Structure formats: structure tokens, C-alpha cells
Structure 1
Amino acid sequence: MGFHQQLLHETEAARQRMLRIPIIGRALQGSIDRDDYTAFLGQAYHHVRHTTPLLMACGARLPARLEWLRSALVHYIEEEVGHQEWILDDLVALGQDRARCAQSEPWFETELMVAYAYDTIARGNPVGFFGMVLVLEGSSVALATQAAQAIEHTLSLPRNAFSYLRSHGELDAEHTEFFAGLMDRLDDAEDQGAVIHAANRFYRLYGDMFRALQARSAQMAEAA
């Protein structure tokens, strides 16, 4: 078994716990409302805008023995730079003010996930950052395109309100094979352990963002 398959196996339980969060299932069925989708995009902006800085920070901290992995990060940076602007485009298509969205504060759960990513790179083994890559890209492949189609159909929203989800679903499908190849080249037990550890944490942290979204949605429904 290559390390990529080992990684998937040892994080599957955490992945399934995240996928069982009710609002994720509702999104895949298109049974969320416009406010839910808008709130999701708002939080996505607050973690996606850190993707390129995180990739750069990870590359700066990698040891010389992983120079090949640093080169791979250049590919990721080229693919990911500016994606937060897609999210703002989608929010504008939903009637939101671009500047206000960009200047808003993230929820606690979103901020904590981003902070943990920086901490993993700065204080722990920077290779652990690839645990976050697994969680976010893997989730995009599994959920993004299907959710976009369901939500667009149910809410009759304009297609230009889904550039982030649709593009990420397509891009991350391409990235999955690339990511698997990188993970299978990791042959150091400490590096492998760092990725597994971080991935399990990020499934919890990313899931917490959806749990917060679900709680917010329930509160708004009660108020209505």
C-alpha cells in the first residue's frame, strides 16, 4: 500500500464524521436557502484567501531533503492564486457588497482552522500542511460540483454565483492525482505521521465551520 492509500485509510473515519454533518447532506440535495449559501461563501473567502500565503510559508519551511516537494508547491501556488476573488464574484452575483464581504471578520471556527494551519507550518512539521490540502481538495472533489448543481436548481440562482464551487470541483479533480503522486513519494515516517495527524485535525476543524453554519441556519429559521 502506498502512503496515499494509507493516508486515506487512516483518515476515513474523520472524513465520514464530517460528511455526516446534516447541512452538508442538505446542500447536496439542494435543500439549503440563499442565506446558508451566502454564509458558506463568506467563510470560504476567509480561508481561501490564506491558501497562497500558507503554500508560500510551507515552502519556506521545508528542509533541503524535500526540495522536490518545494518545487511542487510552486505548481499549487500558480493554480490557487487569486481564487478568493472568484468567491467575491459569486457573492456580488448574490447581491452582496464586495468590499464589505472582503472586510468582514471570519467566524471563530474559520479563524481557528486557518490559525492551526499556520501553527502546523511554523511550530510543527511543515509537511503536515498537506493534511489540510487533502481535506479541502478532497472535499471539493466529492461535494463541490454536486452541491453547486443542486443548489442552483433548487434556489434558481444565476450560474455566475457558482464560479468558486464549479471551478474548484473541476480543478481539484485534476489536483487529486497530482496530490496522490506527491504523497506516495513521502518516505519518511515522521513526515507521513504529520500529514495523517493534521488531516484528522482538519476534518474536525473544517467540519466545525459547517457545524457553525448549521447552528446559524437553525437560529435564523427559529427567528423567522
Structure 2
Amino acid sequence: MSFFETLQTATAEERQALFSVPVIRDALGGAVSLDGYVAFLTQAYHHVRHTVPLMMACGAKLPARLEWLRGAVCEYIEEEYGHEQWILNDIEACGGDPEQVRNSRPALPIELMVAFLYDLIARDNPVGLFGMVNVLEGTSVALATHAAGSIRQTLSLPPTAFSYLNSHGALDQEHMATYRTLMDRLDQPQDQQAVIHSAKVVYHLYSDMFRGLPRAQNEAGEVRHAHL
């Protein structure tokens, strides 16, 4: 079994828990409120804006034996740069306030997830950052492929409100193919275990973030709370 396949098997329980979160089941069926979509974009902004800094930190810490992976990180940085602005543009197209989002704090699960990843790179094994890639890109492919169109119809939003999801659907499918190749080159047990551990932690925290989002039938007070 390749390491990519091992990774998927090792994190199957956590992945199932994520896709069992009610708000994700709702989204895959097209049942999303405008507040829920904007709340999702808000939390996406708060972790996507760290993608490039995290990758830069990871690349700087990789050992010489993983020079091939450092090259892949450089390419990934170039592709991901500026994507947080796409999210702010989507929020504005939804009638939200991008400056308010830019100046807000993330929900606790996202704050903890970002902090965990920086700490993982600084104190543990920088290769572990690729556990995050497995979770976030795999999830965005699923949401973009199965949910974006139905959400757009449900909310009657313009195409300009979906630049993040739509672009990441196609882009992350390409990334996942490359990612599989990269992961299958990891041959050191400590690197493999770092990726598995990171993926499990990120799945857990990402699931907690989705549990905090408002569902379509929630009351306004709960919707407002989800933006905090």
C-alpha cells in the first residue's frame, strides 16, 4: 500500500466525522443560508491567509534530504499567493463587509488549527504541514464539486460570490494529484507519522469549525454568534 493510501485509511474515521457534521450534509444538499455561507468564507479567510506563510516556514525548515519537497513547496506558494483576497471579494459579492472580516478574529477551532501548524513546523516536523493539505484541499474539492452549484441556486448569488470555491474545485483536484505523488515519495516513518498526526488534528479542528457555523434553519441570534 502506498503512503497516500495509508494516509487515507489512517484518517478515514476523522474524515467520516467531518462529512457527518450536519452543516456539511446540508451544504452538499444545497441547503445553506446566506449567513452560513458568509460565516464559512469568514473562517476560510482566517486560515487561507496563513497558507503562504505556513508554506514558507515549512520550506525553510525542511532538511536537505527533502530538497525535492522544498521545490514542490515553492511551486505551491506561487499558486496559492493572494487567494485570501478572492475570499474577501466573495464576501463582498454576498453583501458582507470584507474589512470587518479582515479585522476580525477567527473562531477558536481555526485559531487553534493555525497555531498548531506553526508550532508543528517550529518544534516538531515541518513535513507534518502536509497533513493540513490533505484535509483542506480534499474537503474543498468535495464542497466545490458537489455543493457550489446548488448553493448558488439556493441563495441566488452572482458567480462573483463563488470565486474561491469554484477555483479551488478544479485547482485542488490538480493539487491532490500532485499531492499523492509527493506523499508516495515520503519513505521515512517519522515523516509519514507526522503527516498522519497532523491530518487527524486538522480534521478534528476543522470539524469543530463547521459545527459552529449556522445552519439554514437557525435563528438570527445563532447566526450572529457564529461570526464571532
Q: Same fold (TM over 0.5)?
A: yes
Q: Which runs of 5+ in 1 are unaligned?
A: none
Matches within 5 A, 1:124-163: 124-163=124-163
1:160-199 equivalence runs, <5 A: 160-199=160-199
Q: List gaps (5 residues or longer) in structure 2.
A: none
Alpha-carbon separation, structure 1, partners of 2:124 and 2:58: 11
Aligned residue-pair number: 224
Provide closer, same or farther for how the CA distance between residues 215 and 20 of structure 1 changes in structure 2, counting only shifts above 3 A.
same
Alignment TM-score, normalising by the size of structure 1: 0.95
Q: How does 1:65-104 map to 2 (within 5 A)?
A: 65-104=65-104
Is this contact kept in 2: 1:137–1:172, CA < 8 A? yes
Q: 1:14 to 1:222 in 2, by over 3 A?
A: closer
| Partner SS for 1:38 | helix
Report the TM-score, using the length of structure 2 for normalisation: 0.94
Contact 2:36 2:215 in 1 (8 A): no
8 Å CA contact 1:36–1:217 kept in 2: the answer is no
Q: Do the aligned partners of residues 192 and 96 (structure 1) sit closer, same or farther apart at CA in structure 2, a change above 3 Å counting?
A: same
2:135 paired with 1:123: no
The 4+ residue runs of structure 1 with deviation greater than 6 A are: 221-224
Letter in structure 1 aligned against 2:129: F
CA distance in 1, matches of 2:169, 2:90: 15
CA–CA separation in structure 1 for the residues paired with 2:150 and 2:223: 26
Q: Which amino acid aligns with 1:213?
A: L
Aligned residue number for residue 59 of structure 2: 59
In proportion to residue count, which structure has more helix?
1
